[in-house]
Amino acid sequence: MALRSKLPWHGLFFLSGACGLACQVVWTRWFALGLGHEMTAVLAVVGAFFGGLALGAWAVDGPVSRSHRPGVWYGRLCIGIGLWGAATAWLIPWVNEVALGWTGLLPSPLREWTIAFGLPFVTLLPATAAMGATLPAVERCTSALPGAGGSVATLYAANTLGAVVGTLAAAFLVLPTLGLRLGLLVFVALNLATGVAALILARGAGLGAESGVKGPRAATSPEVSGARARRPSRRRLEVTATPIQGAELGPVRLGITAFCAGALGIGYEVVGVRVLSQVLEGTVYTFAATLAVYLLGTSLGAWWYPRLARGRAARTLLAWLLAGLSLACLLGVWMLRLASVLYAGVRQAGLDSGAGVWFGEVTMAALVFAPPTVFMGAVFSLVAATARGPEGGVGRVLGLNTLGGALAPWCFGVCLLPVVGAKWTLALLALAYLALLPQAARGLEWVAALAVMGALTLPADLRFVPLIPGEYLAAYRAGIMGSAAVIGDARGQRALRVDGRFGMGGTASAFAERRQALIPLLLHPQPRRALFLGVGTGITFGAAAADPGLAAEGVELMPEIVQVMPLFDGFNARTNWGARLRLVVADARRFARVETNRYDVIVAELFHPARDGAGTLYTREHFAAVRERLAPGGLFCQWLPLYQLDEGTLRVIVRTFLTVFPQGQGYWLRFNLDTPVLGLVGTLTPRHYPADWFPARAGSGAWREAVRAADLSDAPQLFGCLAADADGLRRFARGAALNTDVRQVVTFGAPRFFDEAHLTSYGRLFALLDRATPDPTGLFVPGPDGEALARRVKKFIAARDTYLHGLRAQAEGDLPRGLAAFLESAGISEDFSTGYAQCLALAVQESRRHPAAARALLERLAELQPDRPVARELLDRLFK
């Protein structure tokens, strides 16, 4: 009896859904490595996946409906998915190489979209077409079994529920553990097992042999369902498997509804996710949470439909569902407007831990997507159940629905969103459902009026840029890639934020941003050409303009950032760029692979490691591509924000870097605890500097002044930034995993930073400091002068590290210990003036509250460094 039950088929179709969505997640991430992370490319891959589903569902609908063996069809389709899915594990890397060559460096939008859609579409077509054909095949299997009423809806519910499980399993378990290739092979193996199980089940149920049922059979009564030995003729088949009357909805009407519902539903998802990106964390787990909620709502809607459909006419029910869907979308838009406040509240309730972050993201996704997707699932189930007939129908409806979904990313995400904005795009999507209402849909005029009123009274905009008192929004640009905001304050400072919350530098950090360019440029004896991966405010990139002999190119992914860059003109020296500095809007990974020029210095900006996509900028393959772009004697510097990393992720990045640059070194950007930054510096060959090298390299004129302004006026100040030599970095990273394109450890591991709420901003700094004390002797050409300079630098480093320990003591409330460290630092090295300056600042601060202590401090400073008159002058002024 179990073989004649629908339950096993629903179980198998559940597994199909899990494997299908998991494979989609893997394929999308894998293709992004070659096609780039521009939103047009990402959306094109999604469209290609849906396009394959559409083609398969449409093409197979008729043949499988006329087949005597629908169970064999389903089993073989699953096996085909598994076999071709396994092949893509080796095919996709090759296709990515082809895509890089065809796309080129600066493709037109049409060329980029065509390649980003066409190559994945063709590559995945055997698998995606088979996936699209599975619903009509398995539906024919269950319709020939007892109790088949509502089988389309329940199968669709089981499949999308499986997709939820597949999405979460891929993101949280399989891909972090196994990587892309092995993870994909796990899912395709499960697909193969599903296919074999389906063949066995079909034979046992009489759905896989010639002696079995030769056509679809709708069991609408006990008499019919019990007649297993008889083959029903086509004239005796019921047209629908649901208890509603669907004859009043013709095939054209059903097809239009299916197509538009697919387009509007995916359009709502694309634009809704784009708006939520301004509020949520933007990690790989954010995407998984949002997609899982969307699919779960669809599954619940499909499960709800058979219960809703009993005794109701299809036309009337469709009208009410579409009206409810329109209102639900508008409700979701209102939830988007409250997203920032609601998300902050949910996170606080979750104690702001990693679990709290993910719970907050799931909650926000549910508020925005759950109500509309429940209606979406019910609408598709109604259309599919009503369209079903002896010659098929379910596959054609699914094909049209997924075809609409394939076109939606381009129509709404690429074309409409940048023109009318998120608010009106979502409003038009919601109102468009009303245009699908069947004619003479009585009693719904008030719904239409309410929807129009709701659309007209939506919030003024859907941009989220948190401001504190005294701040104002100086500029805002939103587009396909995201949003860029410039925040001003009463002090005249300006800061750049991406997607409302990710800080990308500003005028207050101009000193540090200039050093990001100057340190690596100074470490090269005579750079003539430089490349900057990531531009942001342009302050780092603009600092290169001070070197008169240097030509530079800057690569920025987001055109919106380039649009607001003029607001930082007073700091990024943009007016001095001229022809020597060129800005390119492109994906940094693709630029490094496609560009043929070679560079003396390549500088990679601070990339937030936890943001989805940024982790691929720390892979072995990307570092190797950058190495290929270096000219002989070239130098690469990758800056790392230690305050946004946990120690495990930092060790992974360091070890991966050392596999490509075995002689790599670490340099501190500056000496602070709030936002410590480490630069990994790699060269093609070991470099040794002559003792008299720095004065010649620092030059004269504007370049010399820029170097001095960045506190890099002599060799100890430059080489005193050395944080670790190659041996020290190896000790620190020993035992860490490698971050590769197919094993993206950083992408899945960096969000763990949210799990470690106890972490300080400076914990990784001292973890490296304690295990990687550098020896600067190897930096310089052997000889008396080189040894003398090495001794000065060594003292500078000792004073610097003592000073940093003093800052930690001060931050942890132990001011006496901190003060003792600052004094000790001032006595170790005359070249290191920061500890001396810190003591002066503390003396002034304490001169009123504790004058005796302040006086003793200044006297001690004057003794430690008698050649510096500042302490004695301050002592005389404060204590006359």
DSSP string covering 491-555:
TS-EEEEETTTEEEEEGGGHHHHHHHHHHHHHTSSS--EEEEE--TTSHHHHHGGGSTT-EEEEE
- Please state the rounded mean pLDDT for residues 364-393: 91
pLDDT of residue 519: 97
Judge whether 405 and 262 are in contact, CB under 8 Å.
yes
Question: CB–CB of 756/867 below 8 Å?
Answer: no
Structure tokens at 89: 């594990």
| C-alpha to C-alpha distance for 242 and 309, rounded to whole angstroms | 8
- Distance, in Å, from the CA atom of 282 to the CA atom of 276, rounded to the nearest integer, reads 9
What per-residue confidence (pLDDT) applies to 821? 92
Q: How far apart are CA 70 and CA 350, in angstroms?
A: 49
Q: Determine the pLDDT at residue 524.
A: 95
What's the pLDDT at 38? 59
Share of the chain above pLDDT 90, in %: 56
Smallest CA-to-CA distance from 199 within 83, 72, 81 is with: 72
The pLDDT value recorded for residue 632 is 94
- At 166 the pLDDT is 96
* 151 close to 387: Cβ distance less than 8 angstroms: no
| pLDDT of res. 121 | 93
Cα(460)–Cα(451) distance, integer angstroms: 17
Per residue in 51-61, pLDDT (tens digit) is 999 999 999 98
With beta carbons less than 8 A apart as the criterion, state whether 40 and 109 touch: yes
Q: What is the largest CA-CA distance in the chain?
A: 115
- Mean predicted confidence (pLDDT) in 679-699: 91
> 477-507 pLDDT, tens per residue?
888 778 899 999 989 999 999 988 788 999 9
Band of pLDDT at residue 217, cut at 50, 70 and 90: very low
The predicted structure's pLDDT at residue 353: 65
pTM more than 0.85: yes
Q: pLDDT band for position 242 (50/70/90)?
A: very low
In this prediction, residue 213 carries a pLDDT of 39
Per-residue pLDDT reduced to its tens digit, 419-474: 888 889 999 999 999 889 877 566 676 777 787 877 777 776 788 888 889 899 99
Residue 62: per-residue pLDDT = 87
| 644 Cβ contact list (under 8 Å, min separation 6) | 608, 609, 610, 753
Contact partners, residue 589, CB within 8 Å, separation at least 6: 33, 36, 37, 616, 617, 622, 625
- Please list, in sequence order, all residues whose beta carbon lies within 8 angstroms of the beta carbon of residue 804, skipping any fewer than 6 positions away: 671, 673, 765, 766, 769
Number of C-beta neighbours around residue 111 at 10 A: 13
The pLDDT tens digits for 753-793 are 765 656 788 999 999 999 888 999 989 999 999 999 999 99
**Segment 68-81 mean pLDDT:** 92
Contact 660, 682 (CB under 8 A): yes
The encoded tokens of residue 250 equal 């013709």
Within 585-678, where are the H helices? 588-594, 620-628, 647-660
pLDDT of residue 340: 77
* Closest C-alpha to 621, from 88, 25, 93: 93
- Of 34-38, 472-476, 589-593, 765-769, the range with the lowest mean pLDDT is 34-38
Distance CA 208, CA 228 (A): 14
pLDDT average, residue stretch 542-547? 93
Nearest CA among 137, 133, 155 for reference residue 55: 133
| pLDDT tens digits along 245-268 | 444 678 888 999 999 999 999 999
pLDDT digits 0-9 by tens, 119-175: 999 999 999 999 999 999 998 888 766 555 558 899 999 999 999 999 999 999 999
Full DSSP string of 154-217: HHHHHHHHHHHHHHHHIIIIIHHHHHHHHHHHHHHHHHHHHHHHHHHHHHHHTSSSTTS--S--
Mean pLDDT of 349-375: 83
pLDDT given for residue 231 in this prediction: 39
Length of the chain: 880
Judged against a pLDDT cut of 70, whether residue 605 lies above it is answered with: yes
Q: How many Cβ atoms sit within 10 Å of the Cβ of residue 815?
A: 13
Tell me the average pLDDT of the chain. Answer: 87
Give the integer Cα–Cα distance in Å for 632 and 218. 74
Task: Summarize pLDDT for 221-238 with one digit per residue, the tens.
Answer: 333 333 333 333 333 333
Q: 3-class SS at 641? A: strand
| Residue 718: closest CA among 644, 779, 767 | 779
Residue range 76-93: mean pLDDT, rounded: 95
Mean pLDDT of 385-394: 83
Q: How far apart are CA 13 and CA 863, in angstroms?
A: 82
User: pLDDT tens digit string along 785-827?
Assistant: 999 999 999 999 999 999 999 999 999 988 889 888 998 998 8
In the prediction, which pLDDT does 237 show? 31
